[in-house]
A and B are shown apart, each in its own frame.
Chain A
Amino acid sequence: MPFIPHTDEDIAAMLDTIGVDSIDALFDEIPAELRAQGLDGIPAGLSEMEVTQLLQARARTDGEPTCFIGAGAYDHHIPAAVWQITTRGEFYSAYTPYQAEASQGTLQVLYEFQSMMTALTGLDVSNASLYDGASALAEAVLMAVRSNRKIKHPRVLMPRTVHPFYRRTVASIVQHQGIELVEVDFDKRSGQTQVAHCEAVADAPFAALVVPQPNVFGVLEEVDALTDWAQARDALVIGVVNPVALALLSPPGDWGQAGADIACGEGQPLGMPLASGGPYLGFLCCKQAFIRQLPGRIAGRTQDRDGKIGYTLTLQAREQHIRRSKATSNICTNQGLLVTAATIHMAILGAEGLERVAAACHANTARLAQQLCEVPGVEPIFDAPVFHERALRLPAPTETVLAGLAEQDILGGFDLGREYPELGSALLVCATEKRTDAEIAAYREALASALIIAKAA
């Protein structure tokens, strides 16, 4: 009986105290015809040793290929201390800090995280995290529509340079809120969303404009111009940002004359392993004026009876367990464990460490793109500056090329052609600080041979 501690004597004594003959008798309020007769399809239990052997074999099956994919999840170095501390049982197996006095560890971590995120984004306040970057953008859109007092039209401009998975997630989550998501096209030469593209769809008032930085192509948007343009039309600006890039790039709070109103994004680059896509964390920050429309948990600093500093969840009247059907969102969890990892990660790296990581990614990707473009027929698609990803055009179908690379244990990038057919055979590549010169050179060789095979096919 895995994890059940009862001895036969315990069971007998407990049944005696309750006054029943058997454990089965405890289920006597359940209609007999509903009782399950067995569990077909569930195998017998295994020992930890057997499960270990099974899982080790499964993990080996997937190999450890060299990863040049980014597209929203990035292969960064994580200090060993981050997860050794995060998985201490006191963090790992604690519940939501509803009993604040018995949860000061978690609560102070949340407060420190919120402080670090406001420092990175240049905004006033942060919540204690949401599920992931894409669902955080959905909440940001809902929040912007609720918050905009001047524009009551539930219309949001959503550039096509926002990650397509993010746009789909937003569409799923807000689909029953009567919100119109208006696509904004991009410049095919620079890969940027320009004011002219926004103008083209702004014939009616809109509550918010989403601005990705960097955008899905890795390209840097003209965030100041976009912010000023939207705010001049009384719209709110939602930045979707990469937190590591923010070590180098202008924070949303500094965009344009007045700064973006809301910033959100994916926290994975701050100490979370790729892990097939989750668990990650979504962050959501905003100007002070909108804090009561900010969904999710928020930790606050206060005092105890003796005037000693302590931390507690605050503004809970926004949340579903108090407000029920009138809550700002149905969201209940934050990603507490991932917040712990991100907070320790940021504490260890500091602003300068993150800046070095960002600079190394930027330089590695520039080197990667340059070397890949030495392969005949491979060329960059856009001419605007990028952060740590670059879109390349291939002289053969991307899918075939990627399969050829995968055979050589290289994950060559993200196939953009599926989402942006107008770009033709397009591949999005990324080299984080972890990719070595030797790996980049090996990729170049592998791409050359994969292209020869693909063209012959």
Chain B
Amino acid sequence: MLIQEHSRPGRRATAQAPLATPDQAELPPALRRKQRAALPEVSELQAVRHYTRLSQQNFSIDTHFYPLGSCTMKYNPRACNSLASLPGFLARHPAAPESHSQGIMACLHELQDMLKSVTGMHAVSLAPAAGAQGELAGVMMIRAYHDARGDQYRREMLVPDAAHGTNPASAIMAGFTVREVPTGANGDVDLDALRAAVGPQTAGIMLTNPSTVGVFDRNIQAIAKTVHEAGGLLYYDGANLNAILGQVRPGDMGFDVIHMNLHKTFSTPHGGGGPGAGPVGVSKRLEPYLPIPLVARDEQDRYRWLDEDDRPESIGRLTAFGGNMGILLRAYIYARLLGAEGMRRVAEFATLNANYLQARLRAAGFQLAYPERRASHEFIITLKKESKDFGVNTMDVAKRLLDYGYHAPTTYFPLLVPECLLIEPTETETKEALDGFVEAMIQIRAEAEHEPETVRQAPHNLPVRRLDDVRAARQLDVAWKPGQQDI
């Protein structure tokens, strides 16, 4: 039932709005609303109960193991939320003067410095509001760099075929054309194909390393050399930074620009689809183009904002007020809890958990997509054989996992591995949780063999059974309207 369907005319939560309705005679009648908007009319308790119940229809990290590949679903420490929600932080207006902002600016400045250090980059901007916006900022800086050198013909961006969909989409938004580079059979970028692809038109390459197939590209130095010698720049998609945090730094690998997903590696909440935060780091030659605002510290140890006046070559402003500050604060708090040693351990234990889970699933007879390779913080199994033998596909297995109380791994991504599951356990899970997941996978495969309908019809134990996506797209119903009957 929708909150709108609980509505009764005249019911209100009277404690929450001013009691008096002052005169609005100054508002010209022609500009006034003629009819009240059809928002729900419910009591406060009705709203509280309704949304509490809805929350109980979600899987989440706090309630379930959530091994969603490439999404880094690790524990979001509660302290990060409660401290970022201190009254002084919540009440600060974005246009408050620097005299009333030194506390938060100190946090942001230190976060900039820590992100520089852990990535090996020269400078960092915290402005991008999400990973995809960080990507856009990154490729826009690459374009600004080439344009400033009179290299306007560099308009082609190389993107591996295994890349996240945001990579080519961001490159297009920055006015590039996209050329795909194939992945070799061993999971590394096909070097020969890359060498054939680069040229005077090459603006750069967008790489995720470890890649979305869950392996570290061993040829990264050769890739960097190839692209740099052709006059292009290297862009690092930080989606998988959790795998190498403190172990290998993108700056040392030769990357010129990087974005980080703080909602992955720095454990800020995913919130059911956002907010994120996508800071960008750059090498020295790209520093003038960083998005604004930035936080600087002067000789008197006072913090101040750098804006358009300080950075005339900046690619500009990406949101009205300079980014998702509350998320940046959470990442800062997380980084201070971890410290340098804690950051290194993130990668160590994320890698340990992934390789352990990979070894156990392999021993249980599941087929790895890249059996000769170490897992990074994630790995791929392919259910090609199960699909063929039992007529049960990856989506069926994913839905059946929900019945067992496990959120499904990422399905059918990357696109180049058929019937795949991309599995990322993260460092915050216990060995028992991983063992439980393996047992569930073994049982589901046994079901697929002996009672395949159970798997094909899954899920059985959730608030709804398998949903009709085709109907959703064909008979579009994307907003409730007053007087509307149930479908």
Contact = CB atoms under 8 A, between A and B. Distances in A.
Contact of A247 (B37, B244, B472): B37
Contacts of A414: 95
A176 B75 contact: no
B345 A333 contact: no
Interface string A261-277: 00000100000011111
Q: Report the 10 A-B pairs with minimum CB-CB distance, sorted nearest first.
A: A277-B321, A89-B62, A45-B339, A337-B271, A176-B175, A172-B316, A277-B94, A59-B88, A61-B103, A336-B273
Contacts of B468: 302-305
A101 B220 contact: no
B106 A58 contact: yes
Given A42-B340, A89-B61, A93-B60, A132 B464 contact: no
A264 B433 CA distance: 44
A330 B320 contact: no
A334 B274 contact: yes
Interface stretch (B24-32, B193-201, B228-236, B385-393): B24-32
A163 interface: yes
Interface string B277-316: 0000000000000010000000000000000100000011
Given A348-B13, A363-B23, A81 B476 contact: no
Contact of B476 (A52, A104, A314, A326): A314
Interface string B402-415: 10000110000100
Given A39-B340, A308-B465, 5 more contacts: A14-B356, A90-B56, A102-B64, A333-B275, A335-B271
A95 B270 contact: yes
B50 interface: yes
11 contacts: A19-B359, A41-B116, A52-B79, A75-B93, A97-B272, A102-B407, A104-B464, A116-B37, A169-B317, A321-B413, A351-B36
B399 interface: yes
Contacts of B402: 99, 101-102
A28 B374 contact: yes
B365 interface: no
B370 to A, nearest CB: 11
Interface string B95-133: 111011111101100000110111010000000011111
Contacts of A88: 52, 55
A17 B109 CA distance: 43
Contact of B325 (A99, A277, A336): A277
Nearest to A413: B95
Interface string A230-267: 00000000000000001111110010000000000010
A16 to B, nearest CB: 10
Given A87-B81, A101-B465, A111 B2 contact: yes
Contacts of B487: 301, 303, 309
Nearest to A34: B248
Given A29-B216, A36-B247, A273-B90, A132 B319 contact: yes
Interface residues of B, number: 202
B41 interface: yes
Contact of A366 (B26, B173, B346, B363): B26
Given A305-B465, A333-B131, A58 B103 contact: yes
Contact of B477 (A81, A166, A300): A300
B472 to A, nearest CB: 4
Nearest to B348: A23
A347 interface: yes
Interface-central residue, B59, B221, B318, by most chain A CB under 10 Å: B59
B373 to A, nearest CB: 7
A176 B140 contact: yes
A29 B178 contact: no
Interface string B232-248: 00000000000010111
Given A58-B104, A325-B168, A333 B218 contact: no
Contacts of B274: 96, 129, 279, 333-338
A34 B89 CA distance: 39
A46 B336 contact: yes
Given A250-B34, A310-B464, A277 B322 contact: yes
A330 B132 contact: yes
A201 interface: no
A427 B471 CA distance: 53
B146 interface: no
A317 B165 CA distance: 12
Nearest to B270: A95
Contacts of B175: 176-177
A420 interface: no
A246 B457 CA distance: 46
B12 A26 contact: no
Contacts of B93: 67, 69, 73, 75, 274, 276, 411
B252 interface: yes
Q: Place the interface of chain A in its size category.
A: 35 or more
Interface-central residue, B31, B76, B84, B316, by most chain A CB under 10 Å: B31
Contacts of A305: 457, 465-466, 468
B327 A91 contact: no
B173 A330 contact: yes
Contacts of B476: 291, 300, 314-315
A152 B169 CA distance: 22
Contacts of A312: 467, 469, 472
Nearest to B408: A99
Contacts of B158: none
A151 B163 CA distance: 35
Contact of B118 (A39, A52, A62, A403): A39
B412 to A, nearest CB: 10
A137 to B, nearest CB: 9
B443 interface: no
A1 B20 contact: no
A350 B15 CA distance: 12
B173 A329 contact: yes
A10 to B, nearest CB: 5
A332 B166 contact: yes
B351 A314 contact: no
A406 B91 CA distance: 15
A335 B247 CA distance: 32
Contacts of A438: none
Interface in A95-152: 95-97, 99-106, 108-109, 111-112, 114-116, 118-120, 124-126, 128-129, 131-135
Interface in A57-91: 57-65, 67, 69, 71-73, 75, 77, 79, 81, 83, 85, 87-91
A13 to B, nearest CB: 7
Given A51-B336, A134-B320, A347-B40, A352 B431 contact: no
A314 B469 CA distance: 7
B462 A336 contact: no
A254 B63 contact: no
Given A29-B373, A85-B52, A101-B466, A333 B132 contact: yes
Interface stretch (A354-362, A374-382, A443-451): A354-362
B37 A302 contact: no
Contacts of A275: 89-90, 92, 325-326
A217 to B, nearest CB: 15
B405 to A, nearest CB: 10
A327 interface: yes
A200 interface: no
A11 B16 contact: no
B132 A331 contact: yes
B399 A276 contact: no
A308 B270 contact: no
